[in-house]
Structure 1
């Protein structure tokens, strides 16, 4: 079978990836294209034979000789359309500075499209909307994400004016940002904190000031994913069965996935939901209490007892606070 067209597309894609990164490992290319290392080595020899100035170093990877560039790459309609969804997400879920930079990049991308593709893209843009399920509080500093990302890439320290959740006042922190991530409608940064002499997590809406310094990093940091996995402490998983009134089950449709939802089945009594819950002492029972008037816990007994104790504690506090109304 002649796979020449497939090989040609792969070699062009390899060349584009070489232009997008300083160094590319052969194993990385093999995993991306689903081929063997031997195939990647043959592709590299083909690029060299066609006059592309490659530099390869054992154990490091391949690089293009500095200064070698290809003409601008043309995007297909489908590739350009994928940027529309990304643009909408950036506008909704990033800070003002980062959003502005992305908008500027999008203008450049659109400028190289053919006229008919520009019209097609504009029509699609008007048909895509990102809605937020809840209001997100604006970050006190409009450029915090852009500054954190820049400092982590260029490896210089930044000074933060930061107020921790349990702190009454703002403290100054000198940190080496490792990276940023988005979780539960908030942006966070992980970095080495010189004040604590350890890695710490910072929520961006608690950052009230950020200032770059000329001080370079003092540590060689692992990739961001390493520290995220490190923060994931092992915990017990408990099977939870809950019977929900069908009329109200839809109200749990989004939040249930944050609490270990596995499956559900329609029964004569209602909709039986199965969870593999991580915390039946704190978070799960408190979440359940929001829907307790139309949901019944079937098992485990430990969760039933926990909810009963929480209700009793609340009732006692309410009576003590307002005895005249009881």
Structure 2
């Protein structure tokens, strides 16, 4: 990136946040802090009113009006892809808000970039299979985001799938996670007096209370994630699989912690990292005699126990 393009990108970055640190700019553009200071000074000399707060960072004066941001065709295409995915990873409330934002973005695009979006619009689809789950009106994503920003306590009715029970909870939200195709609220639960993971599609009702809480969100969230990583031991698994079966599980293997593979004649040696050997063993059973467990021994023992149970269930009848 030449310096002119970098100065424009830094200006856009400054517009995107209330305060931006010099280190953040240096990290994004892979430049030294000394270069950041020179670039900021160049923008100031160009008439951009950039303020600085000691120990915090740089900001653009609110009274300064900047021209509309222009997008490249690549950036416009990326926005289109995001718009296609959002309806399948959120709810109707978030989808509606994004589409409104997208109209505003399109309004400042150059005509050729608008043409790019129009041509791609009908050619890009997201297909979740023949049994696609209908999009919910709301999974409370907007309410939870507001509660995070304003440090508000949430009151929710939660359905626990494992126990098939409803419970009322007061929680202090610290973060949102998207994994296993679902959004999860990470929050301090006052009932359990500990951090808990609440899957959003299992929240039956949610209200944002007027009560606030005092908890440093980024620190609490990082501590929770670190604790989860330590708590759940992951096992290294090595399998020897027939090539035909390896092709059959080409997609599903990623759900089980796939790390890599090497070919060995008519077989493929695959390595995995997985915290749930019981669930992993049940998946292996689907492959019948097309797979051999190289390691660990505990997984081989689990498979033997499962096969013995199947034998006793069906051969004794």
TM over 0.5: yes
- Asked whether the equivalents of residues 91 and 99 of structure 1 are also in contact (C-alpha less than 8 Å), the reply is yes
- Asked whether the equivalents of residues 75 and 113 of structure 1 are also in contact (C-alpha less than 8 Å), the reply is yes
- Asked whether the equivalents of residues 234 and 276 of structure 2 are also in contact (C-alpha less than 8 Å), the reply is no
Q: Structure 1, unaligned stretches of length 5 or more?
A: none
Aligned length: 315
Measured on the aligned residues, the alpha-carbon RMSD in Å equals: 2.5
Pair 1:68 & 2:54 matched: no
* Aligned equivalent of 1:230: 227
Q: d(CA) in 2 for partners of 1:263 and 1:133?
A: 27
Q: Which moved more, 1:57-66 or 1:85-94?
A: 57-66
* Aligned equivalent of 1:55: 51
- Asked whether the equivalents of residues 175 and 217 of structure 2 are also in contact (C-alpha less than 8 Å), the reply is no
* Aligned equivalent of 2:250: 253
* Aligned equivalent of 1:240: 238
So what's the TM-score if we normalise by structure 2? 0.89
Q: Which moved more, 1:178-187 or 1:130-139?
A: 130-139
- Asked whether the equivalents of residues 148 and 175 of structure 2 are also in contact (C-alpha less than 8 Å), the reply is yes
Task: Report Cα offsets for 1:22-64 as digits up to 9, x if no partner.
Answer: 1111001000011000111111222222332222122211122
For residue 291 of structure 1, report the CA deviation from its aligned partner. 1.6
Q: d(CA) in 2 for partners of 1:184 and 1:168?
A: 20
Q: Relative to 1, partners in 2 of residues 1:165 and 1:293: Cα closer, same or farther, differing over 3 Å?
A: same
The residue matched to 2:63 in structure 1 has which SS? Answer: coil
Pick aligned residue for 2:259 from 262, 268, 273? 262
Q: d(CA) in 1 for partners of 2:263 and 2:216?
A: 54
Task: Report Cα offsets for 1:251-299 as digits up to 9, x if no partner.
Answer: 211221232333334444x322221443474122111012224333344
- Asked whether the equivalents of residues 158 and 167 of structure 2 are also in contact (C-alpha less than 8 Å), the reply is yes
The residue matched to 2:191 in structure 1 has which SS? Answer: coil
* Aligned equivalent of 2:166: 170
Q: Structure 2, unaligned stretches of length 5 or more?
A: none
Q: d(CA) in 2 for partners of 1:139 and 1:32?
A: 36
Q: d(CA) in 1 for partners of 2:300 and 2:262?
A: 21
Pick aligned residue for 2:108 from 86, 93, 112? 112
* Aligned equivalent of 1:91: 87
